[in-house]
Amino acid sequence: MDIPRIHTIRESSHRIHNPIDATKLATLGRALGIGPGATALDLACGTGEMLCTWARDHGVIGTGVDLSSVFIERARARATELGVAVTFQHGDASQYVARERVDLVSCLGATWIGGGLEGTIALLDRSLKPGGLMVIGEPYWLSDPPDEAVAACHLTRKDEFGSLPDLVDRYDELGYDLVEMVLADKDSWDRYAAAQWLNLRRWADANPEDDLVPQVRAESRTAPRDHVRYQREYLGWGAFALMRR
């Protein structure tokens, strides 16, 4: 049980696996006013940077879960590096519910674990204390994509996402108040996407006999063009903090 190898190659240098940089992640942590000893659960945690740095900066304790064994090993190494009291489990985040409810639950950029936004919010809510904070990372359209080709570039349908106001309305309809948000900008999108191009190229050069090389080299050619034509112009992304009404 693991994620496709191409994904770990693509994001091999990333500490944050979304278009939000370390400064924005720290801004969100400060804005939420998290106190020492707050308990947290991060589903689809990647390499654990949010949980580790919030443990270092705010005294959070808790657990991260991810399907990637590669990412989980890196997350554990990061926790050791920072000397923080967080743990990481390799497993299917879509099936994970905390034994005891926590103060903060999160899923950044992986709402597929619950079959979409609504299902993921319902999953996270099962682990959250009353009055706790839920942090969701989710895309939205900055402007209406001109055709399905733009949506297909993001492996989605045109109607799968709405605008930012549409997304805020969905949170409201699901019974949650939006209490904070930090949004990606073009620069943070560039840093996230462009690092992938370098990761892919270096891996392909270092592993010329690997069966995955043709796929990696093909993506190395198309990904930059897709990004500058579609991604940075049409797709937004934000980390949204919610509280159940």
**Which residues are within 8 A (CB) of 214 and not within 5 positions of it... i.e. 6 or more apart?**
none
Domains of the chain (ranges plus CATH)? 5-145+157-185+236-244 (3.40.50.150)
For residue 174, pLDDT beyond 60:
yes
Q: What is the pLDDT of residues 219-236, one digit of tens each?
A: 999 999 889 888 888 889
- Residue 209 Cα distances to 157, 181, 205, angstroms: 35, 45, 10
Q: How confident is the model at residue 245 (pLDDT cuts 50, 70, 90)?
A: very high
Tell me the torsion sign for CA atoms 142, 136, 108, 110. Answer: negative
Measure the CA dihedral 215/218/219/225, to 10°: -170
The rounded radius of gyration (Å) of the Cα atoms in the chain is 18
Q: What is the DSSP letter of 47?
A: T
Contact 184, 236 (CB under 8 A): yes
Q: What is the pLDDT of residues 18-77, one digit of tens each?
A: 999 999 999 999 999 999 999 999 999 999 999 999 999 999 999 999 999 999 999 999
Q: What is the DSSP letter of 18?
A: S
| Cα(176)–Cα(118) distance, integer angstroms | 11
Q: How confident is the model at residue 95 (pLDDT cuts 50, 70, 90)?
A: very high
More confidently predicted of 217 and 153: 217
Q: What is the pLDDT of residues 135-156, one digit of tens each?
A: 999 999 998 776 655 555 555 5
pTM value surpassing 0.85: yes
Of 200, 193, 199, 203, the residue nearest 224 (C-alpha): 193
Tell me the torsion sign for CA atoms 218, 224, 228, 230. Answer: positive
Residue 159, both tokens: 């109607």
Contact 18, 237 (CB under 8 A): yes
Residue 245, both tokens: 């009404």
For residue 93, pLDDT beyond 90:
yes
Instruction: Report helix, strand or coil for 223.
Output: helix
β-pairing, 39-43 with 61-66? parallel
Task: Report pLDDT for 2.
Answer: 84
Instruction: Report helix, strand or coil for 4.
Output: coil
% residues pLDDT > 70 (the chain): 94
Instruction: Give me the count of residues in the chain.
Output: 245
For residue 6, pLDDT beyond 90:
yes
For residue 163, pLDDT beyond 80:
yes
